Amino acid sequence: MGFGAQIKANLIWAKNNAESVVAIVLAVTMSVLGIVDIIPADLVGKVIPLTLGVVAFAMLRDRWRQESVNEKIEQTVAGVADTLHQLHERLDRTATIDELLTSTQRTLDGLAAVRFALGNEVSDVLAQARTGTDRWIFKGGTGAHTRVVTLPDCVRQALHDRRELLVRMEILDPTNVELCDRYAALYRSLAEGAEDDARTWTGKGTQIELYATILSACWHKQRLPHLLDIEIGLTSSVSMFRWDLSSRYLIVTQRGPRFPAMIIERGRPYYDSWSIELRTSFAESRRVPIDRALTVQLAEQPGVAEVRELFDALELSLPADYDDADVDDIVAKALRDSARPLRGAGDQLGVG
């Protein structure tokens, strides 16, 4: 720092501290003059209060300055606190918006995980679901499509690949006559036009379909006892929906071609959720002791006596009013039925 700048800085300091400088100069001057007897002692005594007054004024001014500075500091701190509070509120709103966006994204991801199909596309997806699968979980009404298309195809592939196949079917209880009547009435009420097959459905017809599904499962079980692990559960709940789950897809369908099927691929959130739901529902159903089917030898084309004996062994005895023609109808549906069009009582999902 140069000499001129030093002098300027000293002058600025003296200006800012004028009272203190005056008090110091006055006190030193009067003390020196009093010591050398240049001025009378009583004058020095009179100057002392003046000096003290100057010192007091300087102290008061310093205190006032300090209070002003403190007030400004408090105002600054309050302003900073208010700014931080506003920032915190904005961060909270940002976090809420972020949570909303995350939730919305999850919802959109879930919707994207479900696609819809109609008609031939449903049959194509069902065929893809059967290809190479090691399991088939079904929940629905009579299980006609599972009996006619799914089970024979999956068994054929498992036999070709020499691998195990798990099949689990949850269907209506054929011994519950009132339940079968309700099921038939529901689908008659949903008939689409005078030509809809649903109009012809009866409680007994529903029973025969159910007995045919059970007979088909037992027949396949006897022929592949080591490869086919098949279970059947009986429920008393009527639903418009049916679920088919393979190792690749979950397919949810309902009655009629104009109702789209929901298709969910494995790895998507709803696939695992529905898998757990189907397992839980099956656990609450009445289990058919299908292993007892191995004690009744069924021919390639079982006779009336064999079929009656089988259902007696399964504790699902045929109604007393079922004649031989009814039993033959059960056998025909179990082993010689073919894919039906996408209409009727909700279980026929073939398209020709």
Query: What's residue 205's pLDDT?
Result: 94
Query: What's residue 350's pLDDT?
Result: 35
d(CA 343, CA 61): 100
**Tens of pLDDT along 183-215?**
999 888 877 777 777 788 899 999 999 999 999
Percent of the chain at pLDDT exceeding 90? 50
Please name every residue paired with 250 in a beta bridge, in sequence order, or none if there are none: 245, 264
Please name every residue paired with 261 in a beta bridge, in sequence order, or none if there are none: 117
Give mean pLDDT, residues 324-344.
78
The separation between CA 163 and the C-alpha centre of its own chain, rounded to angstroms, equals 33
pTM: 0.67
Above 80 in pLDDT, residue 33? Answer: no
Q: Return the structure tokens found at 206.
A: 């529903």
Query: What's residue 20's pLDDT?
Result: 58
d(CA 92, CA 86): 10
N-to-C CA span, the chain: 104
d(CA 262, CA 254): 10
- Output the average pLDDT for the chain: 80
d(CA 333, CA 213): 8
